[in-house]
Copies of this chain bind each other. A is one copy, B any other.
């Protein structure tokens, strides 16, 4: 179980293609994982996701812990059974959400309750953004919740410091993350001994902010834990693309080749290409689904907003020759109308297209790696793909 087999490594790049085996099936890497925050990838049914050939999706522990609670999901037979998703699943630890509550404006503004987060050595006390109730999560608790949820891949509980923290703070958060990783690992092993039939892979998370020496230290420590996968956290949180790519470059040489590397929260087409090139195997991000619900869509020439006046009478699909259900059936003109009217079908059709676009990009990336033409493909793609937002 949890075998990672590398199929091909590019000659002129750190990109590689592989297969990661989980209890619910194999995933082809490099892979993009659509985010199903509350046990649903917003607007899509599980059958839609299968048709899109999503091999693995992600659910958020923080949200499911608060509602409906892991006890309910456990009682219903676990997340897979409850949500009727029989393919691989990954849950995050809740760490990122717990901390982003106290930092992200758009998150706290949604809540009518004053959120607050208090961190100590043992764990984190925070207030629910739903009802203001107080909760305390420790590394052990985070692992227990994820054990109850029952995903194939579970994540260690980490402290994700804000992008503009001081170096001292990043170091402190990193050290705490390392201590917590050891405790997560211990709890994970304990639970595995109790119920050996429930096989879950625990991935550790590298922190260290925007400081190369901290990132190296963290990569070495996390890698030394010999877990089935290594993740990079705390990036794509406002530090800028250049620094993000630098941090990935800094970390990768210190991670075993033989284990998958997961860059958390990253998922624009350009970032996927740049980070596959730097040796990343797994990605997740709410960006493509969230932007779809705001009417933005990907094409090979860049991002566009469907509300633009120029699409009013446009009989073309979102993208010519795109094989997604949206593009095979509906015009830009009709989609523009649906998004303007805030019709639910519009939100779904835009989501189908964007998820298809990213999953298709990843399929293409895997093919190009195997043909040894990835670098050229990447350069050609980025030349055409302008990041404009019309």
Which of A42, A72, A338, A343 has the most B CB atoms < 10 Å from its CB?
A343
Is the C-beta of A40 less than 8 angstroms from some C-beta in chain B?
yes
Map CB proximity to B onto A272-287 as digits: 1 under 8 Å, 0 otherwise.
0000000000000000
A347 vs B40: C-alpha distance when bound (angstroms) = 12
Interface residues of A in 332-353 (CB under 8 A from B): 333-334, 337-338, 340-341, 343-349
Min C-beta distance of A227 to chain B, whole Å: 31
A333 to B315, CA, bound (A): 41
Contact count band on A:
35 or more
Kindly state the separation between the CA atoms of A146 and B231 in the bound complex, as whole angstroms. Answer: 58
With a cutoff of 8 Å between Cβ atoms, the chain B residues found around residue A195 in the complex are none
Q: What is the oligomeric copy number?
A: 2
Give the CA-CA distance A331 to B73 in the complex, in Å. 12
CB of A47 closer than 8 Å to a CB of B: yes
Taking the complex as formed, is A192 at the interface, i.e. its CB lies under 8 A from any CB of chain B? no
Q: Is the CB of A344 within 8 A of B43?
A: yes
With CB as the reference atom, state the residue of chain B lying closest to A68. Answer: B337
Contact status of A72 and B313, CB under 8 A, knowing A344-B43, A348-B45: yes
Stretch at the interface among A16-24, A75-83, A206-214: A75-83
- Is A114 in contact with chain B by the CB < 8 A criterion? no
**Which among B42, B44, B340 is the interface contact of A67 at CB below 8 angstroms?**
B340
Query: Inside 8 A of A72's CB, which chain B residues have their CB?
Result: 312-313, 333
Nearest 7 A/B pairs, CB to CB = A43-B344, A40-B345, A38-B341, A84-B329, A40-B343, A68-B337, A76-B333
21 contacts between A and B (CB under 8 A): A38-B341, A39-B334, A39-B337, A40-B343, A40-B345, A42-B343, A42-B345, A45-B325, A45-B329, A46-B329, A47-B329, A67-B337, A68-B337, A72-B312, A72-B313, A75-B313, A76-B315, A77-B315, A84-B330, A344-B344, A348-B348
